Amino acid sequence: MQSMFDPVAVQFIGADKDADPADADLVVFGAPHGTPYPDIDNEPYASAPDTLRRALEEDARWLDHWDFDLDGPLLGDGSFTVADVGNLKTSSRDGQGNRHQIRSATREIVAGGAIPVMLGGDDSTPIAFVEALDTFGPLTIIQIDAHIDWRDQRRGEPMGFSSTMRRASEMDHVESIIQVGIRGLGSARRAEVELAQDWGAQIVTARTFHRDGVEAVLKHLKPGANCMITLDCDALDSGIMPAVMAPTPGGLSYFQTIDLIDAVIKKSNVVAFDMIEFVPERDIDGTSAITASRIAANALGGLALKSECG
């Protein structure tokens, strides 16, 4: 597996540099590029995986300390093993090649029995990620995002970031899509909204989530369902997450986000997680990277705790 990736100087918090990915419980990897659109550069996302790793480099020294967001150490009793295999060797203009790399890496991680965690990359990277989860069908997707991403194509490209959930809906193993945090100009026209609703997607707007809380999502989630979580950083309120391409007011807070992830982990069988759409050059003082990486770390911690509890 290691030959598929470029090694990184800093591993994601919780990763054991000596861990064998083939024996790990969870494997982190970076996917710097997805499928580009003509004349829309996806290069601003390229350094996102490494930026998220570096944001918690200091905290990684204190894994035995109490994490009050999880009510215990980040990885529990330490029996849950995390490996960070580095970044895929993607290219900003090679959409087909990038998708092939993401699919291949994810399938190999899944075949080894580990939970894949992908750090993107733009919002087209989950298309290949979801494709590679076909052995988990019927699969539920929890998309935490400001946008529904149901465009059939944009600028002649059907595999770009505006079409992620549209392509997922066409996959035989995807049974359910629950979209959380949708607000503003949500990357859709009337036709896309109606298509998503007709397919059966459950759209939980940010306003509904603020009013009704986590239950607005959980009521659509079958207990024990195989589930993947895809988290677009623009789901977070622009006041705490300006480091995205489309900052939008009214989004989720830090605690709303980690509480949602925690609830989904407890109710379902989370088989994969990704975090996407972080734009390092728009992170004014580095706090957005800390916020995003803390959320991803919390997801790792929640999965470790569930594994520990059986």
> In which domain, by residue range, is 44 found?
2-309
Edge-first strand order for the sheet with 226-232 is 5-6, 82-88, 26-31, 115-120, 269-276, 226-232, 139-144, 174-182, 202-205
Angstrom CA distances, 70 to 209, 262, 301, stand at: 22, 9, 7
Does the reported pTM lie above 0.85? yes
- Indicate if the pLDDT at residue 310 is higher than 90: no
DSSP-H helix ranges across the chain:
48-55, 95-111, 125-131, 164-169, 190-199, 206-212, 215-218, 254-267, 287-309
Q: What is the pLDDT of residue 308?
A: 85
DSSP secondary structure code for residue 178 in this structure: E
Residues 110-162: tens digit of each pLDDT: 999 999 999 999 999 999 999 999 999 999 999 999 999 999 999 889 999 99
Residues 6+ apart with CB under 8 A from 23: 81, 112
Number of domains in the chain: 1
Q: What share of the chain in percent tops pLDDT 70?
A: 98
Calculated CA dihedral for residues 99, 102, 107, 113, nearest 10 degrees: -160
Residues 69-89: tens digit of each pLDDT: 999 999 998 899 999 999 999
Residues 30-71: tens digit of each pLDDT: 999 999 999 888 899 999 999 999 999 999 999 999 999 999
Give me the CATH number covering residue 138: 3.40.800.10
- Indicate if the pLDDT at residue 24 is higher than 70: yes
- Indicate if the pLDDT at residue 2 is higher than 80: no
Q: In which band, very low, low, confident or very high, does the pLDDT at 1 lie, cut at 50, 70 and 90?
A: low
Q: What is the pLDDT of residue 237?
A: 98
- Indicate if the pLDDT at residue 8 is higher than 80: yes
Q: What is the pLDDT of residue 3?
A: 84
Mean pLDDT of the chain: 96
Q: What is the pLDDT of residue 40?
A: 84
Question: Distance between CA atoms of 48 and 265, rounded to whole angstroms?
Answer: 25
Residues 212-240: tens digit of each pLDDT: 999 999 999 999 999 999 999 999 999 99
